[in-house]
A and B are shown apart, each in its own frame.
Chain A
Amino acid sequence: MKYPGASAAGTVLLILAVALLTSLVTAGATRALTLTDEAGREVRVPDRSERLVSLAPSITEILFAIGAGPRVVGVTQYSNYPLEAARLPKVGSYVNLSLEKILALRPDLVIGIRDGNPKAVIDRLAELGVPCYIVDPTSLDGVVTTVRNIGRAVGREQAAYQIAGQMASRIRDVERRVAGLARPRVFYQIGVEPIVSAGQGTFPNILIDTAGGKNVAADMAAYPQLNVEQVLVARPEIIIVTSMTREYDFERVRGFWGRWPGLPAVAAARIYVVDSDLMDRPSPRIVEGLETLARLIHPQKFK
């Protein structure tokens, strides 16, 4: 007996079944999404990454802030925040990464940063089949975006968007408060001997600007070395010393500038010390850095 119609229907059913099965199988096998990272590279990130390696202290901070901390298996030197992160295995410093140490941790996703991580190492990792998502925050809003992007890459979108939203509204709040105010000249001092400041393109420069100050090194190279004369001529009204110089004793820095009582910052006793980790790491805590600076520069607006 032949039932051509039934046979045709059977074939169709069979094709459908096969198609369905295939789609199920492929869905299972390729549960990964392709994202374009901040360096413009296409990255296939696992649907749910279980072993994350962070290639910069700022990225470590973001991962822990959005609740992906328990999945982080490796960090770089100086990843000192939060405390749990400091105890994780190190894969080198963010500018001097060890390829083998990264691979030995069997990451299913590596998050790196364009400014600092050697491109050659990232290229090699990608070549060896380790997905690397690269972030490139270059502004305050860029940091907010980076938090969101990392959230998407590691499957913590909701938490990341919430934190990003809070960061953005705190930034807007500072901007509102300092809008239209006179901008005092701020000298930001990283190094003591020699005197090093932060200029173009650096986060301290962006923070001072957003906090309503005028960075006297704004037009200089990224981390310019200055002589005393240049600082005196700039007549800073506020001097901010970062804690990177803590071994040098803040009091001695204050004493050093005290030799020039004509400096407005000295006359007004406006020399302050701040935590450098809050100022130069593109992580959620940078908003704290911004608020700290804004309070020091415009105290009357933050009573």
Chain B
Amino acid sequence: MRVTPVRIMTTSLLLLGVLAVVCLLSLTTGPAKLRSGAVLAELFGSPGALDAMERTILMRVRLPRVLLGALVGGTLAVGGVVFQALLRNPLAEPFVLGVMGGSAFGAILGILGGWAFFPGVTGVAFAGGILTIALVIGIAGGRTGIHANTLLLSGVIVNAFFSAAIMFLLSVTRNQEIHNVLRWLMGDLSLSTFRELAILAPLVLIGFTLIFASSRSLNLIVMGEETAMHLGVQVERVKKGLLLLVSLVVSAAVALSGIIGFVGLIIPHVLRILVGSDHRLLLPASLLFGAGFLVFCDTVARVATTQTELPVGVITALAGGPFFMYLLRRKRR
């Protein structure tokens, strides 16, 4: 099916609707058992149905958590789309170029240093991610431009190096903050506040607008860099620009949420199956679907067991794996 502005609009609106429903579902779900009717009343105009503590839970615990989930999910999915296109590798995901290792290492230094989560830990995590990706691009980019395979390989090695460094730190430390490290490594949306959202939201919106503006170039690059060059795309500039842009936004998201796997790898493939691989449609669809998917998984993580909360990364893999296999199977038939 041809991709027209009308189709981009309708698909986006449809997915936006799905995202809104998932967010409302998430806001009314949780161990605190707030009545759905009262939650909706509180949100849409007639406050007073909830008491002070319930309002705190809704507005200052669940709402920022849902919004952070949406922003992070969308960011990871879009990051996956861009990386898979630029590296022309279906296994690429936004963490692959060293962002994971770099920001995890930064976060752990911050946590072991006993700093406050924000801005201390998030700050060093962000710096770690950005520095690492700059290093990786520096290693891979030569006179003849950035080679996808060199880039991937350096990313994988840098991630492995940092994983080892993290294991080393965790084995030798007797620091009491070690439990916080595990929590961050497993991915956690539960502690977000509006302060952090106020930084991430504009970054994601501006970043996405710029990425979306390059969707035609991305379409051409996927067909082959030579072809794209002949058709007037400044391939190297677009590549470098997009890599840095995505890394910037992904590093910011990871700094706030920890390592949430699977979203960035699977959602782009799911959407390619559902809406095709034209980036003008694929990018907004991935943003919205990725957002809804992570919010949904986080909702499940919150209520799956009565004893404790599961790390959201567990749910993304458990829910996403079978869903993806089903789609793959259906596509092949």
Contacts and interface: CB of A to CB of B under 8 A. Distances in A.
Nearest to A138: B176
A93 B308 contact: yes
Nearest 8 CB-CB pairs, A to B? Answer: A104-B32, A92-B308, A95-B179, A120-B117, A115-B176, A98-B309, A101-B31, A118-B180
Contact of B53 (A96, A103, A119): A103
B32 A90 contact: no
Nearest to A225: B171
A103 B309 contact: no
A17 B324 CA distance: 75
A120 B307 contact: no
Contacts of B35: none
B190 A119 contact: no
Contacts of A101: 31-32, 309
A114 interface: yes
A92 B307 contact: yes
B191 interface: yes
Interface in A113-169: 114-121, 123-124, 127-129
Contact of A119 (B57, B172, B177, B182): B177
A81 to B, nearest CB: 17
Interface residues of A, number: 30
Given A100-B302, A101-B32, A124-B191, A90 B60 contact: no
B30 interface: yes
A201 B173 CA distance: 12
A21 interface: no
B308 A90 contact: yes
A61 B53 CA distance: 28
B57 A100 contact: yes
A118 B179 contact: yes
B31 A100 contact: yes
Nearest to B54: A104
Interface in B306-320: 306-309
12 contacts: A90-B306, A90-B308, A96-B183, A101-B309, A103-B32, A104-B31, A104-B57, A118-B180, A120-B180, A123-B117, A128-B56, A201-B174
B57 A103 contact: yes
Interface of A: 77, 90, 92-93, 95-96, 98-101, 103-104, 106, 114-121, 123-124, 127-129, 200-201, 221-222
A92 B309 contact: yes
B62 interface: yes
Contacts of B33: 104
Given A95-B182, A99-B191, A221-B171, 15 more contacts: A90-B307, A90-B308, A92-B307, A93-B307, A93-B308, A96-B183, A96-B308, A100-B57, A103-B53, A104-B33, A106-B53, A127-B193, A128-B60, A129-B56, A201-B174
Interface string B70-110: 00000000000000000000000000000000000000000
Interface of B: 30-33, 53, 56-57, 60-62, 114, 116-117, 121, 171-172, 174, 176-177, 179-180, 182-183, 190-191, 193, 302, 306-309
Given A95-B179, A96-B183, A221-B172, A77 B308 contact: yes
A100 B32 CA distance: 7
Contacts of B57: 100, 103-104
A121 B177 CA distance: 12
B174 A116 contact: no
A116 B180 CA distance: 8
B55 to A, nearest CB: 11
B269 to A, nearest CB: 31
A253 B102 CA distance: 43
Contacts of A200: 174
Contacts of A128: 56, 60-61
B277 to A, nearest CB: 40
Contacts of B117: 119-120, 123
B183 A99 contact: no
Nearest to B172: A221
B304 to A, nearest CB: 12
Tell me which of B31, B62, B171, B172 has the highest count of chain A C-beta atoms within 10 A of its own C-beta.
B31
A119 B180 contact: yes
Contacts of B61: 99-100, 103, 128
A91 B116 CA distance: 22
Contacts of A118: 179-180, 183
A120 B191 contact: yes
Contacts of A116: 176, 179
Contacts of B32: 100-101, 103-104
